[in-house]
Amino acid sequence: MPSNAEPAPVSAKPPVTLREVAAAAGVSVATASKALNGQGRMTAETRERIRETARLLGFRPNSLAQSLLRKRSFTVGLLTNDTYGRFSLPLMAGVSDALVDKGVSVFLCNVEDDQRLGQLHVEA
């Protein structure tokens, strides 16, 4: 008998945390962090075991958290009121091409002629 109930939504798997990597590798969170950042004193075997564990679990560092710790976001925001993009889009493409290989993200925000909107983007 067919069911009228909708299928349950497929949820994305939450990202693997540093705490999970540490637990799986049998080390502290601090040791796992140092190993993945290439810092701290530990044997080469321990460092490699932690890195391999992180790779197998699919661990990816949280860039937002790293930005907070470094106090640098590696982000450039461009504000424009060029609603057609005749000037801003080629400019953004050039800026993005120049910075992407250096790990910098580039965002283009259209502020039209609204100073309040521009300020909101700057604060964000």
The model's pLDDT over 51-76, given as tens digits with 9 standing for 90+, comes to 999 999 999 988 777 888 788 888 88
Domain 18-61 sits in CATH at 1.10.260.40
With contact defined as beta carbons under 8 Å apart, do 104 and 75 qualify?
yes
Helices and strands (DSSP H and E) totals, the chain: 6, 2
For residue range 82-101, what is the model confidence (pLDDT) as tens digits? 878 788 889 888 988 999 88
- Bigger pLDDT: 3 vs 120: 120
Cα separation of 109 and 79, whole Å? 5
* Residues 110/118, Cβ–Cβ less than 8 Å: no
Please state, for a pLDDT cut of 90, what percent of the chain lies above it: 39
Using pLDDT thresholds of 50, 70 and 90, give the confidence band for residue 107. Answer: confident
DSSP string, 65-113: HHHHHHT---EEEEEE--TT-TTHHHHHHHHHHHHGGGT-EEEEEE-TT
Of 121, 32, 30, 17, the residue nearest 77 (C-alpha): 121
- Kindly state the percentage of the chain with pLDDT values over 70: 91
